[in-house]
Each structure stands twice: as structure tokens, then as C-alpha cells.
């Protein structure tokens, strides 16, 4: 099964989509990668979902990527004696280290790092920004605030700190246990939540040891400030617009989305645009026109993947949401303005042999109107460099490593095929042509371009390109 689009679709699994039959339907509707949200899944459920995805993968004969999204440090206030209170604009309110139930004047803050880090003038946003406080005095044990935007506050509501950098890593004890579990289950991508600084990736990378790729979710102002450093240490990025829109002005989010997308494209790192893309389809069979435009904008920007969250996890129309996103993406990529917009955002290649080969293969393929660019890639590097060029022709990524093919299922334009390694150059050409023919990318008489590293099986050493004719029954010449 080949897709008629280059952008990938990432669908979150949940109560509405956890059965093997539903996972297959979502794949057939257009999902390329499945997300397991560890905020709502324990290790036992995660293992069940991985098993079901792999069963579907075997049935459809296509590599399917799995992304496990770690919860990260969820910061919450304590509990109230009456469950909730109403705070009025201008009143004083205190968050302190006293574990006693709260009232209209104070509440427990069970995070010493917040009490120690918040300074006068810093904002505290409660319940996704519905309540805004500003610190007026701090002493390490209590934060005295004035209510800037009043609202009701209830037990265990989340706290966002847009002005404060916390001296804690992005991983909690729950995340460490979940990370061990998802690595043992063989997931392909691990998403790290609430990244603030490049150092936040160090612990996860040390534990993962290359067994999965790391995706940094950009959802805090501190991460935007150090974006270049975070990109360098990440394998991929996510524009997590939900929390980003809480901690930064809503009107700043579209520009930040473009900034992150273009920076990731320049670095050749996959980038996912996520959150509320088809939000109304949680309860409606069709999206709003604004949501369609939002999805289209991400596709026009050249994002590698677009993501569904509650729409596919808990909504009433999970299959319809995936199918709708699939149709939008297909139509955008067929739009006559699409190639020009994608080309205008293309970055200059780096001064490496691999980038030079990727650039040349795109230019040759587009000039000669070849049927496909075929890359041999064991580690995935060659596939990533080919996708960085955003060619108009399809990319077929051939790999003898199933984990590599699954990871590349998140990457723009790559049609991944698991195949035995070539024994020599002739075998490499013949195998590439046969697969292009079998996967319906080329017919006899068409030409394809093949890139690889010589000698074969040398990771990251892309140094060869070759134009080949597809012969009868897919043989190469």
C-alpha cells in the first residue's frame, strides 16, 4: 500500500481506537505512525497496544512507526477543603509548602522547586491559563500572588510557569519507569515532554542508547529560546501547540510554528505539527473550515508529519478524522502553488558528500522527470538527507533493518521497504528496480535514480548515485 501524499499522519491511540481492528482501520484510512500517550497508558496497556500495532503491521506488510509520549513533569496545585474556590481579580492568593487543604486565601504547592524558583513578577498560569496569578513576594516556602485573571480553581489543577526556568530535568520517576518499559517493548520514537534546555535530553539519550529515536516536544518559552541547541541534540521535534499556547501569547504560536518547522527542515530533522488540528471532529463528523486551513498550512510549510490527539484517541469519529486529514494533505500537495512554496523554503545543503549526493539526485530526478529516488539506508541517515531536499518525485527508502524502516515512517516523502541487503552493485540496481516496479512507483521503460554508500554496508557514507532503467518485470539496467 502506497500513500498519495508525502506528509505523514500520526494518530494517537486511546479508548476510541485501542482494538486491533480499529488500529487497522486507522492505518487504512491514512495513519503512518501511532502515538501511545503515557500520561494515560500504563506499561501493561502500552505493551498490548504495541502488540496490536505489530500484528497489523504484519497483516498489511508495511512498516508502521510507534511513538511513545512520556508524560514529563506535570506540575499541579494541591487540594481544597471544599474541592474548589472562586478567586477574584485583585485579591491576594498564596501557594505554600503547607499540606493542609486550601481555601480562598491559599493552597498547597507540592513542588519545592517551584517555591524556590519563582521570583516576584513571574506569572503562574493555572488550569491551562484560565486563571492567571502574578507573584508579588517569595521566600522559598511560599509565593504570595495577586490575581490578574480570576476564575474558579479546583483540586490538582495544572500549573504553567512561562517566566520561570525550573532547576529540574524533563524526566520524572514515572518517566524513567515508562522509558524502560517502552524501550523493552521496541517502540521506535520517544517523545520527551516539557523540554526546557538541551541538557534535558541527556538522561533519556543515555538510557535509550540508540534503541529508539528521541523527539523533543517544544511547548515552553525556554525551549524556543534555546531552539538551535535543542535541535542539534534531538532526532526530531514536535510543535506542541497546546501547552505552547498556554505559556506564550496565542498570537505568537503561528509564527513560532513556522520558526520551528523551518529550523528543523534546515537541520534535516523531522518535525511534527500537533494539537487541536481537527479538534471539532472529537464530536462532529466534519471539521471546521478554519481547521482545514490549519492542517493545510502545516502541509504547505513542509512539516514531516501532522498529528491527531483526542480526535483519534477519544473522539466519536476517529477513522473519519484520519481520512479527513489524509484528504486535506493529498489535495494540498496537488495544488499548483505547493511545489513553489516548498522550494522557496529549501535550505542550502551542508558541505558533505551525503548532502551533495542528495541535492544532485533531486535535481537530476526533477530535471529528467524520473519516477523515483531510491535510497539504500541501514541507519536511516541517507533517507533523512533525501527527505531534507523535499523532492517532487517519490522517495523509496530500502533498508535491511526493520527498525530503520519503522523510524523513517515519520519522515516526509519516504516510502519504506524492508529488504535484504544487496550483495553487490548489480544486485543493488536490480533489487531497487524490482521494488520500484512491485510497489507501483515505476513501470517498464521508466527511469529511477539510486543512491547508496560504496562500499556497501558502510553507515552514513552515501557517495554514489546511478540512473537505471526499469526493465521487463522490474529488472534493472
Mean pLDDT of the chain: 94
User: Catalytic: 217?
Assistant: yes
- What are the start-end ranges of the H helices in 248-372? 253-267, 289-300, 310-313, 318-334, 338-344, 353-367
Cell numbers given for 348:
542550502
Structural domains for the chain: 8-73+170-339 (3.20.20.60), 84-160 (2.40.33.10), 353-474 (3.40.1380.20)
388 pLDDT tier (thresholds 50, 70, 90)? very high
- Residue 421 has a pLDDT of 85
- Residue 348 has a pLDDT of 84
Residue 59, Cβ density class (10 Å: 0-12 exposed, 13-18 middle, ≥19 buried)? exposed
Q: Is the pLDDT of residue 472 over 80?
A: no
- Residue 459 has a pLDDT of 65
Q: Which of 36, 14, 283, 75 is nearest to 179 (CA)?
A: 36
- Residue 149 has a pLDDT of 95
Q: Is the pLDDT of residue 475 over 70?
A: no
Tens of pLDDT, residue by residue over 127-153, are 888 999 999 999 999 999 999 999 999
User: Catalytic: 138?
Assistant: no
Select which of 3, 47, 76, 262 is catalytic. 76
- Residue 436 has a pLDDT of 95
Please state the pTM of the whole predicted model.
0.93
- Residue 457 has a pLDDT of 64
Residues 6+ apart with CB under 8 A from 474: 433, 434, 435, 436, 437, 438, 442, 444
Residue 327, Cβ density class (10 Å: 0-12 exposed, 13-18 middle, ≥19 buried)? middle
Radius of gyration from C-alpha coordinates of the chain: 24
Select which of 6, 24, 35, 220 is catalytic. 35
How many Å separate Cα 187 from the centre of its chain? 14
- Tell me whether the omega of the peptide bond preceding residue 455 falls within 30 degrees of 0, making it cis: yes
Select which of 275, 382, 404, 462 is catalytic. 275
Share of the chain above pLDDT 90, in %: 86
Compare 149 and 347 and report the one with higher pLDDT.
149
Amino acid at each position: 500500500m502506497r500513500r498519495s501524499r508525502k506528509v505523514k499522519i500520526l494518530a494517537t491511540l486511546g479508548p476510541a481506537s485501542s482494538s486491533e481492528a480499529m488500529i487497522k482501520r486507522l492505518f487504512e484510512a491514512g495513519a503512518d505512525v501511532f502515538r501511545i500517550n503515557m500520561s494515560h497508558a500504563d506499561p501493561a496497556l502500552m505493551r498490548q497496544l504495541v502488540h496490536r500495532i505489530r500484528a497489523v503491521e504484519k497483516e498489511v506488510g508495511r512498516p508502521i512507526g510507534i511513538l511513545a509520549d512520556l508524560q514529563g513533569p506535570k506540575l499541579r496545585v494541591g487540594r481544597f477543603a471544599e474541592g474548589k474556590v472562586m478567586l477574584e481579580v485583585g485579591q491576594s492568593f498564596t501557594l505554600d509548602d503547607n499540606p493542609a487543604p486550601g481555601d480562598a486565601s491559599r493552597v498547597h504547592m507540592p513542588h519545592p522547586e517551584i517555591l524556590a524558583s519563582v521570583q516576584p513578577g513571574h506569572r503562574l498560569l493555572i488550569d491551562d491559563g484560565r486563571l492567571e496569578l502574578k507573584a508579588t513576594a517569595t521566600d522559598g516556602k511560599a509565593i504570595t500572588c495577586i490575581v490578574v485573571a480570576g476564575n474558579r480553581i479546583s483540586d490538582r489543577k495544572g500549573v504553567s510557569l512561562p517566566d520561570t526556568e525550573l532547576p529540574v530535568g524533563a524526566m520524572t520517576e514515572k518517566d524513567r519507569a515508562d522509558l524502560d518499559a517502552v524501550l523493552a517493548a521496541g517502540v521506535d520514537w520517544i517523545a520527551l515532554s516539557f523540554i526546557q534546555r538541551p541538557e534535558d535530553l541527556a538522561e533519556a539519550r543515555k538510557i535509550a542508547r540508540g534503541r529508539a529515536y528521541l523527539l523533543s516536544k517544544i511547548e515552553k518559552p525556554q525551549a524556543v529560546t534555546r531552539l538551535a541547541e535543542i535541535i542539534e541534540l534531538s532526532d526530531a521535534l514536535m510543535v506542541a501547540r497546546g501547552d505552547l499556547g498556554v505559556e506564550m501569547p496565542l498570537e505568537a504560536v503561528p509564527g513560532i510554528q513556522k520558526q520551528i518547522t523551518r529550523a528543523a527542515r534546515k537541520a534535516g530533522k523531522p518535525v511534527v505539527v500537533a494539537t487541536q488540528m481537527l479538534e471539532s471532529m472529537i464530536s462532529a463528523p466534519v471539521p471546521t473550515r478554519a481547521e482545514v486551513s490549519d492542517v493545510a498550512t502545516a502541509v504547505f510549510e513542509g512539516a514531516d508529519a501532522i498529528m491527531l490527539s483526542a480526535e483519534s484517541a477519544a473522539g466519536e469519529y476517529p477513522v473519519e478524522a484520519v481520512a479527513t486529514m489524509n484528504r486535506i494533505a493529498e489535495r494540498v500537495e496537488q495544488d499548483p502553488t505547493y511545489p513553489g512554496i516548498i522550494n522557496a523554503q529549501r535550505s542550502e545543503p551542508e558541505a558533505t558528500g551525503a548532502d551533495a549526493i542528495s541535492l544532485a539526485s533531486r535535481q537530476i530526478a526533477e530535471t529528467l522527470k524520473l519516477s523515483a529516488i531510491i535510497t539504500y539506508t541501514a541507519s536511516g541517515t541517507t533517507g533523512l538527507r533525501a527527505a531534507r531536499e523535499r523532492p517532487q518525485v517519490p522517495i523509496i527508502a530500502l533498508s535491511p533493518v526493520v527498525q530503520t524502516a519503522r523510524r523513517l515512517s515519520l519522515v516526509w516523502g519516504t516510502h519504506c521497504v524492508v529488504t535484504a541487503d544487496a550483495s553487490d552493485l548489480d544486485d543493488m540496481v536490480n533489487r531497487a528496480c524490482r521494488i520500484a516496479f512491485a510497489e507501483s512507483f515505476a513501470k517498464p521503460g521508466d527511469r529511477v535514480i539510486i543512491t547508496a554508500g560504496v562500499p556497501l554496508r558502510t553507515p552514513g557514507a552515501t557517495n554514489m548515485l546511478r540512473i537505471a532503467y526499469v526493465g521487463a518485470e522490474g529488472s534493472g539496467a
